[in-house]
């Protein structure tokens, strides 16, 4: 029996997830902030701006009225970037089916959210706004995935994490197919930390990648290889686990599963990774030269032309490092680079001295 489903956010990942569900025969409404994107989906059955060259099924319908999209749905998936997620949730609080707790809510956004208590994980922050029905019942969905691959049917694995086992299984069954494998987890906090913090490491990885391939152009010794990248990857995973434990992760295997090492690896190494791309362009295009500091970069992030979530996460991770008194040299160095306190070429010097 087909379910009523909405995805709020018509970026690349939101569109890919909506397509995966629609391909199973469900009617899916997707909310787009941009009218041009909605028109493109409804008229041409593509999302040319965010997911070009992927044909979308006719049972995937776009709309610009967020209330209309959310009302009366059995499943609702939040897919807007972390910068706009709170605004999105505030817009649907008075939707009757949300207010009455009739809709199961999942989240595929990665990152931390700013609050008066400092940066917090997404689900616990959303629970402060949503009716009490949703306390410990939201589902967080993450894993080593790219919209470009999922939308083209490449085999991919995801984690559906929730303290509500029934809801985790419901979203697992909604999403899974012979190409999309979905597993359940109770470690909601660990999965969220891994999904957010890996984007910070991926920017550092992109910087290293650019230094490795352009050593001569940058006037530095050719001393970076595959082993250097693996060193950074392993040390980065260790930092993610350190932060995860400090923030209440409950299962050590979260960080050795697809939501930990798997998501980190694909984010760092894939050509589709926006955070890796941003790190590379810090070197290759000197992107940071146009910005005063990290706050200026975040405030003008639209000028980049794409959204590297790790930029915002780097600021929040730095705050969490200080709050929990953690030693995380990669994340700390990356923050200083984005804040124009360190030059990108100083990244490796700092890492080598701090990792020993």
Active site residue ranges = 198
Question: Are 130 and 103 a contacting pair, CB within 8 Å?
Answer: no
Rounded CA gap, 4 and 81, in Å? Answer: 23
Full DSSP string of 230-293: HHHHHHHHHHHHHHHHHTT---GGGGGSIIIIIHHHHHHH-TT-HHHHHHHHHHHS-GGGG-SS
Q: Is 12 annotated as a binding residue?
A: yes
Q: How far is CA 248 from CA 188, 197, 309, in A?
A: 9, 14, 22
Q: Is 84 annotated as a binding residue?
A: yes
Of 164, 119, 158, 114, which Cα lies nearest the Cα of 138?
A: 164
CA distance between the termini of the chain: 57
Q: Is 145 annotated as a binding residue?
A: yes
Q: Is 9 annotated as a binding residue?
A: yes
Q: Is 14 annotated as a binding residue?
A: yes
Q: Is 110 annotated as a binding residue?
A: yes
Q: Is 354 annotated as a binding residue?
A: no
Q: Is 13 annotated as a binding residue?
A: yes
The crossing angle, in degrees rounded to 10, of helices 165-175 and 12-22 is: 80
Tell me how many degrees the CA angle 117-118-124 measures, rounded to the nearest 5.
70
Question: Are 273 and 200 a contacting pair, CB within 8 Å?
Answer: no
Q: What are phi and psi of 145, to 5 degrees?
A: -150, 150
Q: Is 198 annotated as a binding residue?
A: yes
Q: Is 50 annotated as a binding residue?
A: no
Q: Is 99 annotated as a binding residue?
A: no
Continuous H helices in the chain = 12-22, 35-44, 66-70, 85-91, 96-99, 122-127, 147-150, 165-175, 188-213, 226-246, 263-269, 274-284, 294-299, 309-324, 329-338, 347-354
Place of tokens 């049972």: 59
Q: Is 274 annotated as a binding residue?
A: yes
Question: Are 127 and 134 a contacting pair, CB within 8 Å?
Answer: yes
Q: Is 309 annotated as a binding residue?
A: yes
How many CB atoms are closer than 10 A to CB 277?
A: 20
Annotated binding site for substrate: 110, 274-275
Task: List binding-site positions for NAD(+).
Answer: 9-14, 84, 147, 274
Pick out the residues of the known binding site.
9-14, 33, 84, 110, 143, 145, 147, 198, 263, 274-275, 307, 309
Binding residues for sn-glycerol 3-phosphate: 110, 143, 145, 198, 263, 274-275
Binding residues for NADPH: 13, 33, 110, 147, 274, 307, 309
């Amino acid at each position: 029996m087909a379910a009523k489903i909405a995805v709020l956010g018509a970026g690349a990942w939101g569109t890919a997830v909506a397509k995966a569900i629609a391909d199973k025969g469900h009617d899916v409404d997707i909310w787009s902030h941009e009218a041009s994107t909605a028109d493109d989906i409804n008229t041409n059955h593509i999302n040319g701006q965010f997911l070009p060259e992927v044909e979308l099924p006719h049972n995937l319908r776009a709309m610009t009225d967020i209330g209309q999209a959310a009302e009366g749905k059995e499943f609702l998936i939040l897919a807007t970037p972390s910068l706009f997620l709170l605004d999105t949730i505030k817009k649907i609080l008075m939707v009757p089916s949300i207010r009455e707790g009739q809709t199961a809510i999942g989240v595929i956004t990665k990152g931390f959210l700013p609050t008066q208590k400092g940066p917090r994980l997404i689900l616990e922050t959303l629970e402060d706004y949503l009716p009490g029905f949703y306390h410990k019942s939201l589902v967080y969905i993450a894993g080593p995935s790219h919209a470009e691959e999922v939308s083209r049917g490449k085999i991919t694995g995801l984690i559906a994490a929730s303290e509500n086992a029934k809801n985790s299984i419901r979203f697992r069954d909604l999403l899974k197919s012979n190409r999309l494998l979905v597993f359940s987890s109770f470690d909601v906090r660990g999965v969220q930390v891994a999904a957010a913090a890996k984007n910070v490491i991926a920017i550092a990885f992109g910087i290293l990648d650019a230094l490795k391939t352009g050593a001569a152009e940058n006037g530095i010794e050719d001393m970076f290889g595959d082993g250097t990248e693996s060193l950074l990857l392993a040390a980065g995973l260790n930092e993610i686990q350190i932060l995860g434990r400090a923030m209440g992760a409950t299962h050590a295997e979260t960080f050795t599963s697809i939501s930990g090492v798997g998501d980190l690896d694909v984010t760092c190494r894939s050509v589709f990774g926006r955070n890796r791309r941003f790190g590379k362009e810090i070197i290759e295009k000197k992107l940071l030269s146009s910005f005063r500091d990290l706050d200026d970069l975040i405030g003008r992030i639209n000028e980049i032309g794409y959204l590297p979530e790790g930029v915002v996460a780097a600021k929040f991770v730095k705050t969490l490092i200080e709050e929990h008194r953690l030693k995380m040299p990669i994340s700390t160095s990356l923050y200083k680079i984005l804040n124009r306190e360190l030059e990108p070429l100083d990244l490796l010097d700092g890492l080598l001295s701090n990792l020993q």
